[in-house]
Structure 1
């Protein structure tokens, strides 16, 4: 009886997570949060906070709510953490054990409402196995997603156009078209580069002419050289330039042999000849700089 009375006084928080921000997953996240709140009410606990996010569970990176919960474990703000299942909290074996250790050291409890059970240090082996299985599931899922993405790009899929793609825009029907005013600025960059000017000098010329970026700021030399180097401006799209590596948890460059190059995929802002001339001039400037530095040293 005494234990039941003490349980009723527990201060509870819950953590809810789904992997993506797709609409169906958002609905799942809302349901998950509602289920957790109902589980807290059913046990007579007092809800004091909630940690909810749409992030991958494979690591702690970018998971602001999980990291907030992890730090709050050491504060006297709650007594029990409520989650749907172990994989909602973490799909990474190492981080699971770190969380469990901090939970135990802080004297907090962890309640799985789907199984209606509390975590116990005696379950360390079982929960460790679950963490390994969850991690392996994520690894295989990541491989499948990478493969599907690679297949789409290999089959001449639709090119990605970000909001930073200066000179281009996507139309209502999904086609890519040139923005004439921005394209004229880009051609000016290529012409100046082909004439032997470096990024900073080109930036100074454009600034003096009153040219500004979409954000209303002058272009930097780095911005200009990055655009000059981009083959998209001659209509060539390079796909599968990067891929996610689950083992490192990082997005890595794909070797040239694994990339897919499609010439004439989108409208060209500059000709092939001008693109080659500008990039050759940029290469020569870079080579001279390297020679100069080696002579100085």
Structure 2
């Protein structure tokens, strides 16, 4: 009777895994060869047996965009189902994600990993700007997909990456899409500057202690009481912001969406001139439209002045005292 030790069993299991991996690579190599033959014979992706997936993305989570996404999904599923040569393998959808880079786009990155495993042969997407608005990303990922025998068909741009001239056309169209992002960023930045110069109250309705209505801020008294407590306890000098945040959490006092207060939350609260009844603009800026990170401007560049649309929650004297202690 054969006797197997734990070591020999482990080696056997590793050998099986290695064998499966080699078989997977071999199967993928055969599939890539089949796709090469498709091109050599002049056949299109539409009359070739292919496993097909789709990729869709919307950049915000607003209802209108989500409805657009739902329509995209239904359209792609119907489109794939109508072709007798295609087998639907599923879709990959990123909601509320910017297309400037692939960073943070979980479904996109999962799609790339599934492509490496040979899950599908072709990805259909609406247009290049849905796939990537960065030229480098477009080329990098379409090249990587082709190495694994997977093509991308950009419907609106009529680009199929299996075609010989696809990369040239993709580079041109990706550059145009990237430049559109730059122009949009510049227009948005210009609009912000004009709005700030005219003291327009920007931002969403998420400032703790206030409710934004018709371009004015209204005090929410239960929240305002917590803001006053933070300022008063901090200026008293007995506790730091981290200790105050911990005490609020212990007492079950939370911010918007039920999130606990942290040091950074209270630091931002103390620094915000709106709490003393002032308009505050141009406090942050970004260096590059491709980099969404912002940096804080020095106070001499801020636009700060009294504004009757912003009722004060704390006095100016208390605000100044708290800020001197930061």
Look up the match of 1:292. none
Superposed CA deviations along residues 196-215 of structure 1, whole A, max 9, x for unmatched, are 33415862995699573347
State TM-score, norm by structure 1: 0.78
Of stretches 221-230 and 11-20 in structure 1, the one that deviates more from structure 2 is: 221-230
Q: Distance in 1 between matches of 2:164 and 2:260?
A: 59
Look up the match of 1:176. 217
State TM-score, norm by structure 2: 0.72
Q: Distance in 2 between matches of 1:89 and 1:205?
A: 43
Of stretches 73-82 and 225-234 in structure 1, the one that deviates more from structure 2 is: 225-234
Q: Secondary structure at the match of 1:13?
A: strand
- 1:211/1:138 CA distance change after superposition, 3 Å: closer
Of stretches 129-138 and 212-221 in structure 1, the one that deviates more from structure 2 is: 212-221
Look up the match of 2:291. 249
Shift of 1:150: 2.6
Asked whether 1:191 is paired with 2:236, we answer no
Of stretches 197-206 and 55-64 in structure 1, the one that deviates more from structure 2 is: 197-206
Q: Distance in 1 between matches of 2:122 and 2:196?
A: 47
Look up the match of 2:77. 37
- 1:74/1:62 CA distance change after superposition, 3 Å: same
Q: Secondary structure at the match of 1:78?
A: coil
The correspondence of residues 72-87 of structure 1 with structure 2, limited to 5 A, is 72-87=114-129
8 Å contact kept, 2:99–2:132: yes
8 Å contact kept, 2:209–2:219: yes
- 1:228/1:77 CA distance change after superposition, 3 Å: same
Look up the match of 2:171. 128
Shift of 1:195: 3.1
Of stretches 127-136 and 39-48 in structure 1, the one that deviates more from structure 2 is: 39-48
The correspondence of residues 239-278 of structure 1 with structure 2, limited to 5 A, is 239-253=281-295, 255-256=297-298, 259-264=302-307, 265-278=309-322
Superposed CA deviations along residues 213-239 of structure 1, whole A, max 9, x for unmatched, are 347788555544442232221112312
The correspondence of residues 201-212 of structure 1 with structure 2, limited to 5 A, is 203=244, 210=251, 212=253
8 Å contact kept, 2:46–2:83: no
- 1:159/1:130 CA distance change after superposition, 3 Å: closer
Which of 252, 269, 272 matches 1:227? 269
Of stretches 28-37 and 271-280 in structure 1, the one that deviates more from structure 2 is: 28-37
Shift of 1:178: 1.9
8 Å contact kept, 2:128–2:157: no
* Structure 1 vs Structure 2 CA RMSD: 3.5
Q: Distance in 1 between matches of 2:222 and 2:83?
A: 64
Q: Distance in 2 between matches of 1:87 and 1:205?
A: 44
Q: Secondary structure at the match of 2:116?
A: coil
- 1:279/1:133 CA distance change after superposition, 3 Å: same
Asked whether 1:49 is paired with 2:93, we answer no
Q: Distance in 1 between matches of 2:191 and 2:145?
A: 38
Superposed CA deviations along residues 232-283 of structure 1, whole A, max 9, x for unmatched, are 2111231233344445412312534654323234111111112122222x14
The correspondence of residues 208-219 of structure 1 with structure 2, limited to 5 A, is 210=251, 212-214=253-255
Look up the match of 1:10. 50
